[in-house]
Structure 1
Amino acid sequence: MDLVQTGYTELIKEKAKSLGFDDCGITRATELDDDKVYLKKWLDNKMHGEMHYMENHFEKRIDASLLVEGAKSVIVLLKNYFPKDAQTKGAPVISRYAYGEDYHFVLKDKMQELFDFIKTEIYPSLEGRCFVDSAPILERAYAVNAGLGWIGKHSNLIHKRLGSYVFISELVVNLELDYGEKIKEACGGCTRCVDACPTGAIISPKVIDSNKCISYLTIENKGEIPEVYKGKMDNRMYGCDICQEACPWTWKSRPHKEERFMPNPEVLKMTKSEWSELTQERFSTLFKKSPVKRAKFSGLRRNIDFLE
């Protein structure tokens, strides 16, 4: 690694933070050998439920170099989404990540600015792509390789300063840079996240059975929620933060400062009875730019009814 490229790395990290990202790490665009074995076993055991897209493009999913011709580096970006405010007590709960504007749009805009900066100011021959849940890539694994944290027993990335309430996005580019190193895992013998899951979805450390996961059941699942989970949903109507709430690394999480992630005040103040009376028209107004639209009105209505 020459001095010029090392300088490039610092410039990119500084620009990322100036754009509002909370951390940035870089790793080599290469095949993930260990994760390849884990992913295949997870898929073979049908733990992805109805998320059949997880079966597609297997080789690309574990090798970012196949996503961009000539790819050399994966620039991994973290964005804190922990909110300052919460919903009205007793109301059906929405996962914190869905309080504000859809993160796909927010992060894509910032990533494009970073990409343009690198191409204009650093490397005119830059080629690459921006990804925010928009490609078959094991983002958490690359974040670990970039030195941004470790995978907790709940399977989420844990960052020492930010905790696990972070969005992960990536730039896969044809520029060789200075790479980070893995840091030591720091969960120790703690099993708070495993013990907290009311549906037993964390069947072993870092292994999630999606079929039992509240996030999956309320979002990805398109059928009826199995009756076996009646009374076990902890009042969650869209997504779930239970395992993260139990994790000591999130207890000192600080509120984000991203204007576009600020929650809709109308959503926060709605009571249980108001959610019970939710209509299609009201849903469309409340969640116009929200990731909650992924569940559609019919899905959210199903979830609310199941909780009652």
Structure 2
Amino acid sequence: MINNKEKYTQFIKAEAKRLGFLSCGISKAGFLEEEAPRLEHWLKQNCHGEMSYMEEHFDKRLNPTLLVSDSKSVISMLINYFPSEEQNQDSYKISKYAYGKDYHNVIKKKVVKLLKSIKREIGDVNGRAFVDIAPIMDKAWAAKSGLGWIGKNSNLLTRQVGSFYFIAQLVIDLDLEYDHATTDHCGSCTACIDACPTQAIVAPYVVDGSKCISYFTIELKENIPQEMKGKLDDWMFGCDVCQDVCPWNKFSKPHSEPLFSPYPELLSYTKKDWEEITEETFKAVFTNSPLKRTQWEGLKRNIDFLK
């Protein structure tokens, strides 16, 4: 006879799939004991550079029960963003996750819909949706829930579809059946470490965020250090190198989310187009794009540095 925990778990996973999530795994909410010393060491080594927000809410970052009162379960979900088309060859490069509409809004709506479905089906369940912004260790929870393993490039990897996907969490005050972590399948491969243009992967499974191209082109508000001249490999927003070279990404399949479809301009623009883009055009075309994170001034700074 099926018990309520099993019934609710099956419902949640089926509903996540219906909403377009690639996979769904569930863990018991609690303190991330293994991750705590690693995060502390990473911060002490100043691997977060000027991302001061990484130092904030240390306890909450490691324990979702401090984010959602009486929380019992962390539901982790993946959603594919691998595009079917890539940029013009003669273009400054943009990370694939930024090809379409801002993923935060797209995914948050799906997670909120999931919570509403849970309340409708199960009753008075309280929870909170998380998509990349709040202090929650999304990759750690996804790995703990069996959705993949943390690779040497610090991304979540799966044998089925690689790593080009977003991670979302729903933390709720409901006991469910819990999944188990999977095994590491990086083996002796060092493709990501060898290919990183700025040597940001300082050791297997350790990325110095302050050396990462994504940090320089998105997070850093000051001028890009001159010693990085010639090392950014034409990336003007983010970087996919460590994912592009990962053998598991040969299994990546194009997504089916219309809102992640690339902006036509993003695919067709050449370097010259990007160099000549005005603030007015940028705001008109990319108003709902992740590119707005850098704003026009930041994008121009990046392009000028690459020229």
1:260 matched to which residue of 2? 259
Cα distance in structure 2, aligned partners of 1:164 and 1:201: 18
Report the 3-state secondary structure (helix = DSSP H, G, I; strand = E; otherwise coil) of the residue aligned with 1:90: coil
2:183 matched to which residue of 1? 184
Report the 3-state secondary structure (helix = DSSP H, G, I; strand = E; otherwise coil) of the residue aligned with 2:294: helix
Matched, 1:80 2:80: yes
Give the aligned residue type for 2:141: Y
Give the aligned residue type for 2:4: V
Give the aligned residue type for 2:99: Y
Q: How many residues align?
A: 307
1:168-247 matches, within 5 Å, as: 168-247=167-246
Q: Is the 8 A contact 1:71 1:173 kept in 2?
A: yes
Deviation of the 1:134 alpha carbon = 2.6
2:113 matched to which residue of 1? 113
Q: Is the 8 A contact 1:267 1:286 kept in 2?
A: no
Report the 3-state secondary structure (helix = DSSP H, G, I; strand = E; otherwise coil) of the residue aligned with 1:168: strand
Q: Deviations over 1:95-135 (max 9, x none)?
A: 0000000000000111111000001112x120110011231
1:6 matched to which residue of 2? 6
Matched, 1:53 2:67: no
1:41 matched to which residue of 2? 41
Cα distance in structure 1, aligned partners of 2:64 and 2:104: 19
Structure 1 length-normalised TM:
0.98
Deviation of the 1:211 alpha carbon = 1.4
Deviation of the 1:288 alpha carbon = 1.1
Unaligned runs of 5+ in 2: none
Cα distance in structure 1, aligned partners of 2:185 and 2:132: 26
1:303 matched to which residue of 2? 302
Report the 3-state secondary structure (helix = DSSP H, G, I; strand = E; otherwise coil) of the residue aligned with 1:283: helix
2:27 matched to which residue of 1? 27
Deviation of the 1:156 alpha carbon = 0.3
Cα distance in structure 2, aligned partners of 1:3 and 1:291: 43
Deviation of the 1:180 alpha carbon = 0.5
1:155-170 matches, within 5 Å, as: 155-170=154-169
Matched, 1:145 2:148: no
Q: Is the 8 A contact 1:201 1:213 kept in 2?
A: yes
Report the 3-state secondary structure (helix = DSSP H, G, I; strand = E; otherwise coil) of the residue aligned with 1:251: helix
Cα distance in structure 2, aligned partners of 1:272 and 1:44: 39
Cα distance in structure 1, aligned partners of 2:305 and 2:134: 32
Q: Is the 8 A contact 1:225 1:306 kept in 2?
A: yes
Between 1:282-291 and 1:12-21, the stretch displaced more is 282-291
Cα distance in structure 2, aligned partners of 1:178 and 1:252: 29
1:18 matched to which residue of 2? 18
Q: Is the 8 A contact 1:94 1:240 kept in 2?
A: yes
Cα distance in structure 2, aligned partners of 1:233 and 1:181: 38
Cα distance in structure 2, aligned partners of 1:6 and 1:160: 26
Deviation of the 1:286 alpha carbon = 2.1
Structure 1 vs Structure 2: percent identity of aligned residues? 51
Deviation of the 1:7 alpha carbon = 1.2
Cα distance in structure 2, aligned partners of 1:91 and 1:83: 17
Report the 3-state secondary structure (helix = DSSP H, G, I; strand = E; otherwise coil) of the residue aligned with 1:154: coil
Give the aligned residue type for 1:181: H
Cα distance in structure 2, aligned partners of 1:156 and 1:233: 20
Report the 3-state secondary structure (helix = DSSP H, G, I; strand = E; otherwise coil) of the residue aligned with 1:21: coil
Unaligned runs of 5+ in 1: none
